[in-house]
A and B are shown apart, each in its own frame.
Chain A
């Protein structure tokens, strides 16, 4: 599939900015935290050893910093199709406010913050910046993640 030379108009950009996802909730399970920590290869006992975790500043088991990436199904329905066949993750910026613990119910909502276009080797590339806010069952924001998606 070929990539268009130009894609994004100012009108489309304005339509996209502010689009918000439906909320998605993840129940944080102890086993999921352990599987995630194993998958990233991080043996830190605060993820898998209750006794050691109690002595940490968290006072108990917590999830690794990037664990909330496993909240899936947060879909942004743009008013137009991002008609590119390829996608890349451009980067992420996490801010942390509260630890994420087993038993938490974390609700994620994503919002489009910016959309820009650049011309790359293969034609037009669209950069979409989204901000995902993660809130726990106590209505505390535990983290925000600003992410850049590159479609090309």
Chain B
């Protein structure tokens, strides 16, 4: 695990360490089981095609979980996630690489907390942003 990031170390415009995911249909079944979301478009090819899709697609909530991991990996065990927002603009299919990325957009203090806003998104193998979003985190200070 990476070293703890502190609020003082952060600068606006800096990139979060990216996270690569390669979801499979097996993972979508696993996610269906763990989350209880058994909508068939996520694992049943015939059902998905009957719904005018090319095949199974990722659960939106699984994509937001990838963005959650991107951010929680970065903020480390002493940081806290305050807000995680994203839109499912483009569909992602299993079997394709997805890269979760983020950039720091704002660093500020509010109500005694040291906060950072980030733009976060998922990029598909063609470099398209399928899942734009934002996150707000609290980071620890080197001053304690």
Most buried by A among B23, B27, B36, B86: B36
**B39 engages A64 (CB within 8 Å):** no
B143 to chain A minimum Cβ distance, whole angstroms, is 16
**B77 engages A55 (CB within 8 Å):** yes
**B85 engages A69 (CB within 8 Å):** no
Tell me whether A4 is interfacial, beta carbon within 8 Å: no
- Number of B residues whose C-beta is below 8 Å from A? 39
**A65 engages B34 (CB within 8 Å):** no
Interface membership of chain A positions 36-49, coded 1 if the CB is closer than 8 angstroms to chain B and 0 otherwise: 10111110111000
Q: Name the interface residues of A62-105: CB closer than 8 Å to any CB of B.
A: 64-66, 69-70, 72, 85-96
Contact partner of A39 (CB less than 8 A), chosen from B33, B82, B83, B84, is: B33
**B65 engages A66 (CB within 8 Å):** yes
**B52 engages A44 (CB within 8 Å):** no
B87 to chain A minimum Cβ distance, whole angstroms, is 4
Contact residues of A: prevailing secondary structure: mixed
Report the Cα distance A34→B56, complex, angstroms.
25
Residues of B near A66 (CB, < 8 A) are: 61, 64-65, 68, 84
Residues of B near A87 (CB, < 8 A) are: 39
* Given A41-B27, A57-B80, A95-B82, A36 contacting B34 (CB threshold 8 A): yes
Tell me whether A118 is interfacial, beta carbon within 8 Å: no
Contact partner of A57 (CB less than 8 A), chosen from B60, B78, B86, B88, is: B78
Tell me whether B73 is interfacial, beta carbon within 8 Å: yes
B46 to chain A minimum Cβ distance, whole angstroms, is 15
Question: Whose C-beta in chain B lies nearest to the C-beta of A144?
Answer: B83
**A42 engages B36 (CB within 8 Å):** no
Interface membership of chain A positions 135-152, coded 1 if the CB is closer than 8 angstroms to chain B and 0 otherwise: 000000000000010000
Task: Pull 20 A–B residue pairs with CB atoms less than 8 Å apart, ordered by A.
Answer: A32-B34, A39-B31, A40-B68, A46-B77, A57-B80, A64-B65, A64-B69, A64-B72, A72-B35, A72-B36, A72-B37, A89-B60, A89-B88, A90-B88, A92-B60, A92-B64, A92-B86, A94-B85, A96-B81, A96-B83
Top 5 nearest A-B pairs by Cβ distance? Answer: A89-B60, A56-B77, A91-B87, A39-B34, A65-B68
Interface residues of B (CB under 8 A from A): 1, 21, 23, 27, 30-31, 33-37, 39, 51-52, 59-62, 64-66, 68-69, 72-73, 77-88, 133, 140
Other A-B pairs, 15, CB within 8 Å; known A36-B34, A57-B77, A91-B60: A35-B33, A35-B34, A41-B27, A57-B79, A64-B68, A64-B69, A65-B65, A65-B68, A70-B35, A72-B35, A72-B37, A86-B52, A92-B61, A92-B86, A94-B84
